[in-house]
Amino acid sequence: MCAWVYGPMFEGYYQDPGRTAVCGRRPRSAEQKEMVETGARIVEAVMERIGPGARVMDVARHGLDLSRQYGAESNQMAEKWPHFGHGLGLFFEKPYLGVGMCDADDVFEEGMALGVEAFFGLPGLGSAGFERNMLVVEDGVELLSTTPMPWWA
């Protein structure tokens, strides 16, 4: 089960948080639990690379490398949404954290609002998606919500 909320939340400015939960609150198998938690791990690992001056392309490549490492780069969800986030403003906007969606000279700047997301799925298990919203600050990112990603964590 996935839940996504997006749209203007404050004076026309967008937020775009997303979470995946399992019906009944607990995963049905160790494999399902691992799949869901891996989607959340990818988001956290991508966020760790963001800060003022960091190249968007490098962060997007890191997300793609992680997806390949976990076997998620060629699933239906990842193919539909081939990126790891985007800017937030009056809609979804630059920078787009996708290898084919950003320019080599795009960099993160302090004060940018972002949604960092990952869509992860494995055959026979289903799919999961997570997104966190944040601001780029001097030493990395500041979350706009403390809502946990995996509900059982």
Where along the chain do its domains lie? 2-143
pLDDT, residue 24, reads 73
Range with the lowest mean pLDDT among 7-11, 129-133, 136-140, 141-145? 7-11
Of 146 and 82, the one with more pLDDT: 146
Give the model's confidence band at 62: pLDDT under 50 very low, under 70 low, under 90 confident, else very high. very high
pLDDT tens sequence across 72-87: 655 555 566 667 899 9
Rounded to the nearest 5°, which phi and psi values hold at 32?
A: -65, -45
CATH 3.90.230.10 describes domain 2-143 = yes
pLDDT above 90 as % of the chain: 33
Of 10 and 142, the one with more pLDDT: 142
